[in-house]
Amino acid sequence: MDIEAWPEGDGRAVPVEWAVMECAIGPLFLAATGRGLVRVEFHAEAARRDRMLDRLATRLGAEPVERASGLLAGAVRGLDRYFAGEPGDVDLPLDWSLTAGFNREVLRELASSVPYGTVVGYGDLAARVGRPGAAQAVGAAMGSNPLPVVVPCHRVVESDGGLGGFGGGLETKRQLLALEGVLPATLF
């Protein structure tokens, strides 16, 4: 479910709640506003978590608070089901305020049209948003995705079948694609 950001420059601070959840690919940092899930970050050890909290405070204008009112309960439940291997996308309200322009357009298309257990090429995704030939720009949009796993940038691959890049690391991308049945699970 999509929820648009407040209009740019309206001056309102956005209350933010955060938590770190353990899952099969390591600790995930999650942050939500009253509008929805706003940030997911891989490998959320203490130093990375602290950097993310500083960035969110700067971008959203309020100090994030650790699990105050339950805004993250639905996200944690949905991600727990996903990592337990239940087929289907993690369907949550999303706050798109950390992305804009072409990147937002591409990420919204990805979220709405590339379901669990499927993949799409960078060039194909560019064509879907009316920008054939913008495969590299799509790659940049994937790299800037503030909501990985939920907005499944791990499902975007090279046209020749290669994995392409991934902000969470290629091993994490392999694990997510194996979880969804796109790649075989590793033997070791």
Q: Say how far apart CA 59 and CA 28 lie, in whole Å.
A: 20
Amino acid at 41: E
Strand positions, DSSP E, the chain: 2-3, 17-23, 26-33, 36-41, 65-66, 94-95, 120-121, 156-157
Q: Catalytic residue among 25, 98, 153, 179, which? A: 153
Question: What is the phi/psi pair of residue 142, to 5°?
Answer: -65, -40
Kind of pairing, strands 36-41 and 26-33? antiparallel
Amino acid letter, 30: L
User: How far is the C-alpha of 154 from the C-alpha of 176, rounded, in Å?
Assistant: 7
Tell me if residue 23 is catalytic: no
> What letter does residue 132 receive in the DSSP assignment?
T
Q: Which residues are catalytic?
A: 153
